[in-house]
Each structure stands twice: as C-alpha cells, then as structure tokens.
Homo-oligomer: A and B are copies of this chain.
C-alpha cells in the first residue's frame, strides 16, 4: 500500500476540494467550547467516521478545569447615529473571543481599553482571546479605531458564558497493531484559514485516505480545542496515550511558505526522522526545527510526563508571518495546491511509518549474483543505475539492525526507492523480514473504491 500513490493524478481536483471544504468551515465562529466547534465537528463527521465527545464544565483535567461553555449570537459597537461601526455579523474576529456579555453605553474614553488593534497593519483585524480571565472586548482595524469620534457608543456583546461542555472529535482506524499514530489539530479558531482550517481540512482528507485500508498501525485523529482540548484528552486517556508511537500536530499548512517540521521533545524519534526525510526529498528548502516548549498541542503531548514522539508540521511558522492571527489569514491566504501538497507530505510521512521495517540479507557473505536474477545490468563497464544502486544498499545494510529509513538516510536515496528495492529483493528471496518487526499486510491492490479520494 502506498498512500501517496493514491492521488497522484488528482492533484488539482483534490486541492480544490480541500479548499472548498475550508470555505464551508470558514464562516463559523469557533471557540474552545460552544456551538461553533460542535458545528465544525459535525461537518467533519459528514466526511469521516467521527466520534464527538462532550466533557462537562468543571471537570478537573490535570492542573486545569474544563471551563464554562461560551456561545455568542451577536456583538457590535453602535455610534450616536445608531449605525454599527463594529459588527460581529461582518467578521467574527471583531469580538474578543470568550468575551463576557455586556450591554452598555459609554464614552470613547471608557471603551478604548477594550479595543484591540494592530497599528503596524492598520487595515487588519486582530484575533484575540481571553479564555481564562473574564473580560470583554472588541478587535478592529486600526483605521476603524482612528475613525471613531469622541462620542458615546452603544456596546453590545450578546454572549453567554455558562456551565456546559467542552467538545472534541475523535476518529479511529484500527490497524494490525495496537500501536498508534496520532494526528492532532486544533479546531478552536474562528475565521482564520491557515490557522487552522488548513490543518482541519488536510487531517480530514488524510483520514479519508486511510479509511478502509489494511494498516500496520492504528490511527487516531483528534480535532480538539487548543491547549485545554489536548489536556482534556490526555487526562481522560492516560492509558491510550501510552500506545502512541508516532504523532503529528498539523497546523498552518495552507500558506505559500516552505515547510517547517518541529521535532518532538525526544528529538530523534522515528517520526522526526521520517518527517525530515520526506520534507528533504520532496519539498523545497524545508527547515527542521528543534523542539521548544512553545507552540501548539505538541506542548502537551511532549510534556515531560508523557514525552510522546509527537512533532509539528507547519509551512510558515506561527507568529513569523504578518497575517498570523489577523483577518488577513483568510481563504485567499491558503491555496488549493498548497493544501494538496501538504496532504501529499502527510501521506508520504505515513507511508514511511507504515513500511519502515528491518530485513535480513539471506546471502550475507559477499553480494548475491543479481545478474542471473535479472536484477543487474548485463553489459559490464557502464555506470549502474539508481535502481540497482538502491538494491545494493538494501543488500549491504540489511543485517537485521538497519531499518529502511536508516538505509534511506545513509544512502541519501528517497525512502520510496529503498522500499521498492526491498519489495523486489524480498520477492526474489534475497531478503527476509526480521521476525516480529511489523507484520506485513496483504494490502496490495486492496484499495476499496469507496474509501479513496473519490468518496469525498
């Protein structure tokens, strides 16, 4: 099975579909709790088998407590003329996310401390939150604020902050092994496209690719509110977390930037090497970042008590592009081809994990005679090709200790070439699989049409 080979011919089509789905999710006002994330999960659930879970307000989760549920219907600032000068209906970033309700009239001077702007990008509306300190506020463009006259304003935030639930979604595909691969993305940001509709849509389509296949690993997809969602999931699944062998947090993978992979805290885990290998061989100028304890939910998965092998795949790094956490992170900021390239990268990384086994050369003393098996060139004296080269690497380093990824790294050849050579040599009885090193599935040609991209 190669995930990657499934959508080779459908790049543009798949990219457009990814972008279309992002467009459907874009208008929803999400937050870490409430109906926004519920509606989002329901739309994802139309595409993949998603289980939605609800955790009551007040539930203790490690050092934290599940917060009140926030819902919002409307919010605005009206000037003396009765016209909405700031209007939540036009853009849900306008309200400080998690604002407490307010209805009041006040002079500009009193309002101002509750206004958030970005002076250096005066046309953009910032995205701000106040989850853990009760507060209210508005976000608006700096030019909007400068235009505000010194007069009385009617201020309304029609929100509720009440006992309710924290909601998250989980999609699980059992594999031949109980060992799991985790794909996690935060689903709590309102109308921001790269952060993180890009992650949500790519994860959804990646789950579609896996659906119905014979898999080596079991796969768990989490669509969760950032920070508190990961903490809640980990608090409720301490046992399950122990099964996670490899993991990826997907975020900010729709923009035009080159790829960045931030390593897990372990620093040299198989996922770290697989991601670095795939990015190096199939994308332009990728950058591999060392682990640091700021970022996304890898912070929780890589907290010292868990220390899971979970890295983070990004294109531009959060905080390092001006559109980050502003209204400029919109549907134009992400593009179909970038989304589908990110999906391909994810598929290629999973292909590495699925196929990374160790083999033993059954003729370890000297080279076997490839020529009489039609696995070598017949006229001597000329250069040998890349395919033969991959076979020689496989034979020389298949001593039961080196994995395919070890050999790919050492040879400088792409994993797929090494993996193809392994298949061929195994078929020719020149290699044997190290016993117990990941049972080989019988999944060749097992693609169920109903589970391919076309299903979506």
- Where the two chains meet, the residues of A that have a C-beta atom closer than 8 Å to any C-beta of B are 61-64, 97, 116, 126-133, 135, 227, 230-231, 234-235, 238, 265, 290, 292-294, 299-300, 302-307, 319, 325, 361, 363-369, 371-372, 378-384, 389, 392-393, 395-399, 410-411
Partner of A368, one of B63, B238, B319, B366: B63
Q: List 13 interface pairs A-B (beta carbons < 8 Å), by A numbering.
A: A63-B366, A97-B381, A132-B378, A133-B371, A227-B367, A234-B366, A294-B384, A303-B364, A303-B395, A304-B364, A304-B395, A304-B399, A305-B363
When distances are taken between beta carbons in the complex, the residues of chain B under 8 Å from A235 are 365-366
Contact A133 B325 (CB under 8 A): no
- Grouping DSSP codes into helix (H, G, I), strand (E, B) and loop, the A interface class, with mixed when no group exceeds half, is loop
Smallest CB–CB gap between A268 and chain B, Å?
14
Contact A367 B303 (CB under 8 A): yes
Contact B395 A293 (CB under 8 A): yes
Contact B383 A319 (CB under 8 A): yes
Contact A293-B129, Cβ < 8 Å, known A63-B366, A305-B365: no
A230 to B367, CA, bound (A): 10
Partner of A293, one of B364, B372, B396: B396
Which partner residue on chain B sits nearest A326 by CB separation? B381
Smallest CB–CB gap between A410 and chain B, Å?
8
A234 to B365, CA, bound (A): 8
Contact B305 A128 (CB under 8 A): no
A363 to B231, CA, bound (A): 12
Contact A231 B293 (CB under 8 A): no
Contact B303 A365 (CB under 8 A): yes
When distances are taken between beta carbons in the complex, the residues of chain B under 8 Å from A230 are 366
Q: How many copies altogether?
A: 3
When distances are taken between beta carbons in the complex, the residues of chain B under 8 Å from A396 are 265, 293, 299, 302-304
Smallest CB–CB gap between A256 and chain B, Å?
22
A300 to B368, CA, bound (A): 10
Which partner residue on chain B sits nearest A300 by CB separation? B366
Which partner residue on chain B sits nearest A396 by CB separation? B293
When distances are taken between beta carbons in the complex, the residues of chain B under 8 Å from A363 are 62-63, 305
Partner of A128, one of B130, B307, B381: B381
Partner of A379, one of B62, B130, B378: B130
Smallest CB–CB gap between A230 and chain B, Å?
7
Smallest CB–CB gap between A248 and chain B, Å?
18
When distances are taken between beta carbons in the complex, the residues of chain B under 8 Å from A132 are 369, 371-372, 378
A61 to B265, CA, bound (A): 50
When distances are taken between beta carbons in the complex, the residues of chain B under 8 Å from A126 are 381
A227 to B129, CA, bound (A): 66
Contact B265 A382 (CB under 8 A): no
Which partner residue on chain B sits nearest A397 by CB separation? B304
Smallest CB–CB gap between A128 and chain B, Å?
4
When distances are taken between beta carbons in the complex, the residues of chain B under 8 Å from A393 are 292-293
Which partner residue on chain B sits nearest A301 by CB separation? B366
When distances are taken between beta carbons in the complex, the residues of chain B under 8 Å from A305 are 361, 363-366
